Amino acid sequence: MKKSVRLSLIIVAAVAAISTTVAASTFVQSNEKLYELERAVRLQNLSDIAVRNKDFALACKAQTEAEKALLQANLRSEDVVGMVDKSRVELCSKATKVIVSK
């Protein structure tokens, strides 16, 4: 009887320890994802401001970094990363044309 109670307590303690570890790991991953998403939004905003100021080189750089941040956030929605990639290609192309025309 004592062995079964002791075994039950060990199992409960092990499950509690595993649950706590998984919860902590999930929390850390969520915080990292949130940080990268916030970073992507700030960089996207910088890119928009740079386009309004016709600074396509800065817009290209900001868009490239925003894409990296989204990839680091490990998003499951490929369409978001695809849209950012398409914008990056267009902006970097414009930046190249501006540099070549000077």
Would you state the pLDDT for residue 16?
Answer: 66
Residue with tokens 């990363």: 81
- Average pLDDT, whole number, for the chain? 79
For the stretch 47-90, pLDDT in tens is 999 999 989 899 999 999 999 988 888 877 777 788 888 888 88
Cβ-contact 63, 48 below 8 angstroms: no
Return the closest-CA partner of residue 65 out of 76, 54, 73.
Answer: 73
The reply to whether the predicted model has a pTM over 0.75 is no
Interval 6-20: pLDDT, tens: 666 677 666 666 666
Domain locations in the chain as residue ranges: 2-101
